[in-house]
Structure 1
Amino acid sequence: MSYAIDVSVDAFDKLPVPTLRRVIDISGDGTNNDGSSLEESRQRALQKAIVINGLPIGAEVENGETTAEYYERHVIGGAGSFIIPADSSAEFQWAIINKLVREVSSISGETAL
């Protein structure tokens, strides 16, 4: 997760034009297992006003937390951030559609800077 956040932040930094919104969606079925510290990567994104949403899959428990609780506590952040849990891979399709509707419906009609 931290690696994906770091790559996404770098990609936003390289955009040739400013953007009105910056959103990273992280999906997965467990905890951070590659890259640097998740907290450091998350804070770097949040400092640049990048919102991180989560789509946790499954309800596995690790260290006393479900996957959704882990995402809520350690992954998502920023104004309007959210998680949409999917209890199985089959429910993931519904979660993606729900996420897209939620994100698109929050666009205010403003144009990019």
Structure 2
Amino acid sequence: MRRLAPLLALLAALIARPVAAQAPVWDDVDLELVLLADASGSIDFQELRFQRQGYADAMADPLVISAIRDGAHGRIAVTYVEWADAASQHVVVDWMLVGSAEDAALFGDRLMAPPREAFGRNAIGAALMKGVEMIASNHHEGFRKVIDFSGDSANNWNGPSIAAGRQAALDAGITINGLAILCLVCATGRADGYDLEAAFRDRIIGGPGAFVVTADGSEAFANAVRRKLILEISGLEPPSRHAAR
């Protein structure tokens, strides 16, 4: 019994010692992708649902799944955020790993379920900063980090400037790609008197391999989203600036 006393004392000390906080587990992925979708006042409820469905369908497309599987890790980390006013950015789907058709289906289910919570006038600079924050605070480590920004305007009515949001992303090593929405299910485009694609190219996108694609109708939107995801996941660029028209 005397021989056991020191051992028992040591065990008691180990048990009493506070357990050190475990370091977060980092998931290695080929891409960290923030999908920043327009939910400002110019996007009605029908169009918002249409956008969500377009991204859900695109993520589950066999060509997109194939592009994911062809990566070194065979999976990406993705989150979907709807943006509007500077104080109104809603995380619809929080970070999740997508590496299979089952994962993509789950992403779609999570995307279509929540109600709309983002409202207000355009705050593109704040939206870009939200994308930077989402990448900086996750527990994933990707070869590439991309903010996929979509919108039907390049105007910034409140919050930080577009230039400030763009620079924050570039300083963090994040590429910003753009989807310029000329029209979804509306009768006319919304780019009032200016070239929306050119405005995206000149003011919003940036970083290695950054590009803009456009959508001017429901079918074009679905095709543009699918094509853009394949390009982003594969780390490629469209062959021309009008490739997705």
TM-score w.r.t. structure 2 length?
0.40
Are 2:148 and 1:19 aligned? Answer: no
Alignment equivalent of 2:181, drawn from 46, 51, 57:
57
Q: CA deviation at 1:91?
A: 1.6
SS in structure 1 at match of 2:228 = helix
Larger radius of gyration: 2
SS in structure 1 at match of 2:143 = coil
Runs of 4+ in structure 1 off by over 6 angstroms are: none
Are 2:169 and 1:45 aligned? Answer: yes
Unaligned runs of 5+ in 1: 108-113
Higher strand share: 2
Give the RMSD, CA atoms, in angstroms: 1.8
Q: Aligned residues, how many?
A: 105
Q: How many angstroms apart in 2 are the aligned matches of 1:51 and 1:105?
A: 14
Alignment equivalent of 1:95, drawn from 214, 219, 224:
224
Contact 1:84 1:99 in 2 (8 A): yes
Q: CA deviation at 1:8?
A: 1.1
Q: Which has the higher contact order (CA 8 A, sep 6+)?
A: 1
Unaligned runs of 5+ in 2: 1-123, 183-188, 237-245
Q: How many angstroms apart in 2 are the aligned matches of 1:17 and 1:26?
A: 20
Q: Deviations over 1:7-62 (max 9, x none)?
A: 11111111234322110011111123342100011001001110000000116244
Residue in structure 1 matched with residue 204 of structure 2 by the alignment? 75
30-39 or 77-86: which moved more? 30-39
**One-letter amino acid of the structure 1 residue matched with residue 195 of structure 2:** T
Q: How many angstroms apart in 2 are the aligned matches of 1:104 and 1:9?
A: 18
Q: Percent identity?
A: 34
